[in-house]
Structure 1
Amino acid sequence: MSIRAIDEAPLSRFHRKLTWACAGGPFLDGYLLSIIGVALVGMSNELHLSTGDESLIGAAALVGIFVGGLFFGAVTDKLGREAMYTIDLAVLVGGSILSVFATETWQFVALRFLLGMAIGADYPIATSLLAEWVPNRHRGRLLGVLILAWYVGAAAAYVIGYAMAEIGGSGTWRWMLASGAVLSAVILLLRIGTPESPLWLVNKGRTADAQKSIQKALGRTIPIQQLVVAAAEEQSAEHSRFRDLFQGVYLRRTLFCGIFYMCQITPMFALYTFGPAILGSFGLGEGNSSNLGSALISVVFVLGCVPALRMVDRIGRRPVIVWSFALMVVPLAVLGGGSALPIAVVVTCFCAYALFSGGPTVLEWTYPNELFPTGIRATAGGVATSISRIGAAAGTYLLPISLDRLGIGTTMLIGAGITLVGWVVSFLWAEETRGRTLAETSALPGAARPATADRDRDLERS
């Protein structure tokens, strides 16, 4: 199902504001998941944390993201994008405030798990809302901007953490955690007043509300009959149940989205959570100075996303993701040389990996939103997120153990192997969705072309 007024609308101030508001969630995600890596230094010294404690605290948020994505994606498809869009930010504010007062390992684990659940919820909420509002020709780029915001948030975490540690020492780790509450409150205020997705409203048969939503956001009055026709098509679709994600073509798409996402972020999350420790293993900076190295890597990740944002809408999704994964394997394999490598080679490889990862990175949220229909779009995004976090949580938990027992070289080679799996999955299963409506990209192969756009034109002429 598609609504021509949305699919073919010019990019407006509303679209830009919505993009920034939706990007606020990923920005906070990157910030909250990265600031803990900086804060852990002071936490460990003051609370006498063991390596196992650090691993649990580092991985707890990722487990929470698994649960949050799996559960709240489906809730979002039932209750709507708008309501969940602000609730999850309120949880981030509360969880960040409570983290300041925690004193025991189990308290930090519980709160990081709670924050992870809110983060996992935000991924399908914000991305499905944006995907259902933006015009076709801009969809890949604007969804990719959300990922770029993640890296900006991660870089900000390392810079702010570095500054706090320089000014007040490692004992400022509670202030580092408190900074997340302030940023979450600002984004929450920005999100208030965002209109509900017309596609979700039509999917629920609420055509009058969809008409008002489009009028409010785009200033266009759509004939109610046009929306009634769209609602009839949407509600006649058979594939709108949770179990449909695990049947036939949708099963393949679910596995593709989840596995390539997992292979992308498993090495990347490990690098971010324990970035200072990894750089220290290579001899690149000690103590607080290694946080600036992590911030630099984050900036390079941002730079890698910039050309990918243009390419996904110009040359297509499939070639971008296939070639990017292939190139990402190379620097990780070189880093398998371990601590004996010259620092210049280490820096070059980290930067190369960051640059090449831009392709699959900007498609992490584009593919799940394009390959599934409105009734299960957020659910699919949540499931893909949950699958990805299985590997991310395991990798984050095991990385410090691997560094200690296997060494940095072997650890990097394991990362190269995981990335290679991502290339294989993308080569076999990646579909091309560039320039098509959500109705067309989510349709099953061989299905009749959605007729809503043609009916829209006929109704507008009448």
Structure 2
Amino acid sequence: MNLANKQEITMDESPITKFHVKIAALTFGAHFTDGYVIGIISFALLSLAAQWNLSAFDLGLLGSSVLIGLFFGSFLLGWASDYIGRQKIFLFSFILITLASFLQFLAPNVWTLFFFRFAIGFGLGGDYTVGQAMLAEFSPKRHRGTLLGTFNVFFTIGYVASSIIGMMLLDADVSWRWMLASSGIPALLVLILRIGTPESPKYLVSKGQVEKAQAIVNEHLGEQVVLTAEKETKQLSLGHLFSKKYLKLTLFNGIFYACIVLPYFSVFTFLPTILNYFNMKEGHSADILLNIFLLVGAFVGMYLTVKLSRRGFLISSFIICFVSLALLGIIPQNMSFLLIGAFVVFTLFISAINNLVGIYPAESFPTELRASGVGVATACSRIGSALGTFLLPTLITKLGLSPTMLILAAVLLIGTAVSIIWAPETKGKELA
């Protein structure tokens, strides 16, 4: 096929179509499922702890199981998709997630339940990397930031939905088995809708399959849309991410991502402890209120993604989150109004900045390394989130809540410094 004679409009310049919406919806569905899976466990454990007489180790093991699976899945399946293709992992990940979600209902002991939740996390980790790569490679550059940034909105919606459902089921004394297995419902829907999803044209071009790639573009985006004349690229190994050419990008994406999610998961996993500190823990009202702030922050992040540069949004949000969390560590406890105000600001902007974790890694790396790069960044983030979730109770017990907040603020300060030094500007640029 002679592409040079048919260049009317490129994929990067094409308008949004129904197919773009479908690919976006399928990746958003994965993030909704992720938020739901992570959120529902906190309510299931309240019932499960007494029924199985769980130790602190057991609670930590089950609470971190999905995050551990996410680490391995994002690393290994992201690498695999650069070799065998995006579409295969895109489908396989949700076969695994759906089966493991429903199998939680049958778990007879802690280790079996850990295995099923690890499998869910493994699938979600792979889907994070491949979903971001697929959507980035199909999306026109004008709308790419908005689409990739919307991941956080749907994660937050899934998390809030699990909180509401978890509260209702807990109050109705419904078994933890039904709570956990309920995550299989959105997973099954996503799996069914993903059947028939085509391979990424950019990935096919990188493998020299230009005619096959153009056929997919014609079928799904229209006859007027053509591929740019890209050359076949040789397969790059995972080690290339740590070569001189890509090391700075790899370090930046891994560190900034980890510096966001470590305080995010630490604070919101142990939200009841912090709410008690603010004397706000009455029924479910405070939990619902904070969930509303998380949702508002996610939509604020979408708006700022469109209006601001990537670099400017990242650095300014890091600074605001650092200052607000540091204030939680130094404002006297009797000044509750200021404490609550600082907590609200932190909640809004830590949710808003999460929009960038779906954008920066996908825009930073070339096609032949994109899924691997996203996978490594996601793996680093899950190390951070698991570490923070594991250490926070110990830090609060040993040091107190105020010093612990200052330690988490220091993590955000590191993210600020790394972003100032290394953050590239990727907004509006064509993918390599």
For the superposition of Structure 1 and Structure 2, which TM-score range results when normalised by the shorter chain? over 0.9
Residue 404 of structure 1 corresponds to which residue in structure 2?
A: 397
- Are positions 1:421 and 2:414 aligned together? yes
Whether contact under 8 Å (1:317, 1:434) holds in the other structure is: yes
Q: Aligned equivalents of 1:38 and 1:60: distance in 2?
A: 15
CA drift of 1:254 comes to: 0.5
Q: Which of 278, 281, 288 is the equivalent residue of 1:285?
A: 281
Following the alignment from structure 1 to structure 2, what is the Cα–Cα distance between the partners of residues 158 and 394? 23
Task: Mark the CA change 1:338 to 1:394 in structure 2 (over 3 Å): closer, same or farther.
Answer: farther
SS at match of 1:432: coil
Query: 8 Å contact 1:120–1:385 — kept in the other structure?
Result: yes
2:22 paired residue among 8, 17, 25: 17
Does the CA-based 8 Å contact 2:29-2:186 persist in structure 1? no
Determine whether 1:321 maps to 2:314.
yes
C-alpha contact 2:11 2:225 (8 A) present in aligned 1 = no
| Superposed displacement of residue 18, structure 1 | 1.6
Q: Which amino acid aligns with 2:17?
A: S
1:324-339 residue pairs with structure 2 within 5 A? 324-337=317-330
SS at match of 1:340: coil
- 1:263 aligns with 259
What letter matches 1:206 in structure 2?
A: Q
Structure 2 residue 200 is matched with structure 1 residue 202: no
Q: Which runs of 5+ in 1 are unaligned?
A: 440-462
* d(CA) in 2 for partners of 1:46, 1:400: 23
Q: Do 1:31 and 1:153's aligned partners in 2 also have CA atoms closer than 8 Å?
A: yes
Cα separation, partners in 2 of 1:110 and 1:81, compared to 1, 3 Å: same
1:450 matched residue in structure 2: none
Q: 1:368 to 1:408 in 2, by over 3 A?
A: same
1-structure distance, mates of 2:240, 2:306: 28
Q: Which amino acid aligns with 1:36?
A: I
**Local SS of the residue matching 1:421:** helix
* 2:45 is the counterpart of 1:40: yes
- The one-letter amino acid of 2:249's match is R
Quote the residue 1:114 is aligned against: 119
Native 8 Å contact 2:333 2:339 kept in 1: no
Q: For residue 4 of structure 2, what is the aligned residue in structure 1?
A: none
Deviations 1:80-127 (A, max 9, x none): 111211211121111111222223222222222221111111111100
Q: Which runs of 4+ in 1 moved over 6 A?
A: none
Instruction: Give 1:53 deviation, angstroms.
Output: 1.6
The 1:295/1:20 distance shift into structure 2, 3 A limit, reads farther
Q: Distance in 1 between matches of 2:177 and 2:267?
A: 23
Range 357-366 or range 123-132, more displaced: 357-366
Counterpart amino acid of 2:167?
A: Y
In 2, are the aligned partners of 1:53 and 1:105 still within 8 Å (CA)? yes
1:95 matched residue in structure 2: 100
Is the CA contact 2:75–2:372 (under 8 Å) kept in the aligned structure 1? yes
Which of residues 168, 177, 181 in structure 2 aligns to 1:178?
Answer: 181
How many pairs align? Answer: 425
Mapped partners of 2:400, 2:115: distance in 1: 30
Aligned to 1:187: 190
Question: Which amino acid in structure 1 is aligned with residue 362 of structure 2?
Answer: N
Distance across 1 between alignment mates of 2:44 and 2:396: 20
- Local SS of the residue matching 1:103: coil
Aligned partners of 1:221, 1:345: CA distance in 2, in Å?
A: 57
1:125 and 2:130 matched? yes
Q: Helix, strand or coil for the counterpart of 1:438?
A: coil
Per the alignment, do residues 100 and 400 of structure 1 end up closer, same or farther by CA in structure 2, a change over 3 Å counting?
farther
Shift of 1:412: 1.7
Greater CA drift, 342-351 or 22-31? 342-351
Give the deviation of 1:344 after TM superposition.
4.0
Deviation at 1:281, TM superposition (A): 4.5
Distance 2:304 2:330 in 1: 32
More divergent stretch after superposition (263-272 vs 343-352):
343-352
Structure 2 gaps, min length 5: 1-6
Q: Quote how far apart the aligned CAs of 1:16 are.
A: 1.6
Q: TM-score with structure 1 length normalisation?
A: 0.87
Aligned counterpart for 1:64 among listed residues 69, 75, 89? 69
Q: SS of the residue aligned with 1:379?
A: helix
CA RMSD of aligned residues (A): 2.1
State the partner residue of 1:361. 354
In structure 2, C-alpha distance between the alignment counterparts of 1:294 and 1:251, rounded to whole Å: 40
Cα distance, 1:358 vs structure 2:
4.3
Residue 406 of structure 1 deviates from its aligned partner by 2.7
Q: Is the 8 A contact 2:299 2:352 kept in 1?
A: no
Measure the CA separation in 2 of the matches of 1:295 and 1:192: 36
2:109 aligned with 1:104: yes
Following superposition, the deviation at residue 366 of structure 1 comes to 1.0
Identity between Structure 1 and Structure 2 (%):
36
The residue number in structure 2 matching 1:390 is 383
Whether the 8 Å CA contact 1:338–1:408 is kept in 2: the answer is no
